[in-house]
Amino acid sequence: MENFTYYSPTRFLFGRGKEQDTGRCIGDFGGKKVLLHYGGGSVVESGLLERVRESIKAEGIECVELGGVKPNPRSGLVYEGIELCRREKIDFILALGGGSVIDSAKAIAAGAMYEGDFWDFYSGKSVVEKAIPLGTVLTIAAAGSESSSASVISLETGEGMVKRSTMSDALRPKFSIMNPELTFTLPPYQTASGIVDMMAHVMERYFTNTRGVGVTDRLCEGTMISIIEEAPKVMENPRDYEARANIMWAGTMAHNNICGVGRQQDWASHGLEHELSALYDCAHGAGLSVIFPAWMEHVMSHDVMRFAQFANRIFGCEMDFENPEVTAKRGIESLKSFWKSIGMPISFEEIGAKSEDIPLLLDMLDLENRNLGVFVELTREDCEAIYRIAS
């Protein structure tokens, strides 16, 4: 196991009706004038926006609003939010929504406290050292941004989008309010995309070269098995509170790094996927559903026993010690069947991606300026092979 520092300062308020405590929580963290940031309308339709407004007003806290965050959040609205925060002297940001809204809020929070262009944090030119404090009311179990240090933004350029991430402890939410009932209204495709994303967050940590990490291996396995058990229940009955609650907490466990400490992590599949959602504007989870099994197939020979272990412990595939690659391959097939069973894609075609675009996707990866993958460091040829398997 490697040395590590674990820092997860977010206060979680979990359960029915917890959004009523929003105003009080903002007050606890010193907020006097809050930017309420949200997406395209689901929070208006569900009445959540109105309930949260009232809870904020009840505490005598002023409120300014900025809606309109799109999935795969864009730089344009971030610039707008930064200006708004400066003009209105905002001292707290509340994100009301999913990963896209939270990530947009994080970018605004950091950008408003920085003299340069906020994109510097995403291009690698600068690191986030300070940010306006922020909190979240989560409406979708997926990205794990409610407790993560990361933010992912798409820069709008004249020639399309460039999707990049940044990480900093300064971006971790002060609090996250998680009421599973708020996820009852999710369309099945968004529910399933979220399930794939959280599984992928665990898997990016599970496939590691670090030895002696039995506790985190088992935490990863328990989280994945629980997700696989709960997934069919939420797909069948979107109003199953207990299943929604388990899926919601799994999404947080998958990405607050409790499963990832002391071990190398990979993140190549996420890097490969971000180019798909940048080019085709597909759901992040749908892109991962296509990429992850292809990545597994390509890198399996690097540590076939780890893939066989995954197959055996997660999907109960019988271990063939003489031919562990047979077991490993069964695990990949089982994963694909699971994705399919919840309506997720496993090929380029299903997300509108085209094999002719592979050279463009490879250029977009910008491998001259960054590394991709730790379990196996990927060359351009490796990335091409993975995209070809997926196509």
Q: Which residues contact ligand NZQ (rule: CB under 6 A)?
A: 39-43, 71-72, 97-101, 103, 139-140, 142-145, 148, 150-152, 182-183, 185-186, 190, 193-194, 197, 255, 270, 284
**What residue ranges bind Zn ion (CB under 5 A)?**
197
From the list Zn ion, ligand NZQ, none, pick the one residue 391 interacts with, judged by a Cβ distance below 5 to 8 Å according to partner type. Answer: none
From the list ligand NZQ, Zn ion, none, pick the one residue 39 interacts with, judged by a Cβ distance below 5 to 8 Å according to partner type. Answer: ligand NZQ
The number of beta carbons lying within 10 Å of the beta carbon of residue 65 is 14
Q: Which CB atom, from 197 or from 297, has the smaller least distance to Zn ion?
A: 197
Give the CA-trace dihedral at 165, 10, 15, 30, to 10 degrees: -110
Closest separation in Å from C-beta 284 to Zn ion: 6
Closest separation in Å from C-beta 182 to ligand NZQ: 5
Closest separation in Å from C-beta 319 to ligand NZQ: 31
Chain position whose Cβ is nearest to Zn ion: 197
Closest separation in Å from C-beta 273 to Zn ion: 8
Q: Which CB atom, from 167 or from 326, has the smaller least distance to ligand NZQ?
A: 167
Q: Which CB atom, from 197 or from 275, has the smaller least distance to Zn ion?
A: 197
| Angle 48-49-51 from CA coordinates, rounded to 5° | 65
Structure tokens at 385: 């092979």
Closest separation in Å from C-beta 271 to Zn ion: 11
Q: Which CB atom, from 122 or from 307, has the smaller least distance to ligand NZQ?
A: 122
Closest separation in Å from C-beta 253 to ligand NZQ: 13
From the list Zn ion, ligand NZQ, none, pick the one residue 332 interacts with, judged by a Cβ distance below 5 to 8 Å according to partner type. Answer: none
Note the Cα 336 to chain centre separation in Å: 20
From the list ligand NZQ, Zn ion, none, pick the one residue 212 interacts with, judged by a Cβ distance below 5 to 8 Å according to partner type. Answer: none
Q: Which CB atom, from 26 or from 161, has the smaller least distance to ligand NZQ?
A: 161
Q: What's the half-sphere exposure (Cβ side, CA atoms, 13 Å) at 301? A: 1
Closest separation in Å from C-beta 111 to ligand NZQ: 15
Q: Which CB atom, from 104 or from 312, has the smaller least distance to Zn ion?
A: 104
Q: Which CB atom, from 79 or from 333, has the smaller least distance to ligand NZQ?
A: 79
* Largest CA-CA distance found in the chain, in angstroms, rounded: 68
| CA distance linking residue 73 with residue 234, whole number of Å | 26
From the list ligand NZQ, Zn ion, none, pick the one residue 183 interacts with, judged by a Cβ distance below 5 to 8 Å according to partner type. Answer: ligand NZQ
Q: Which CB atom, from 61 or from 199, has the smaller least distance to ligand NZQ?
A: 199
From the list ligand NZQ, Zn ion, none, pick the one residue 15 interacts with, judged by a Cβ distance below 5 to 8 Å according to partner type. Answer: none
Closest separation in Å from C-beta 267 to ligand NZQ: 9
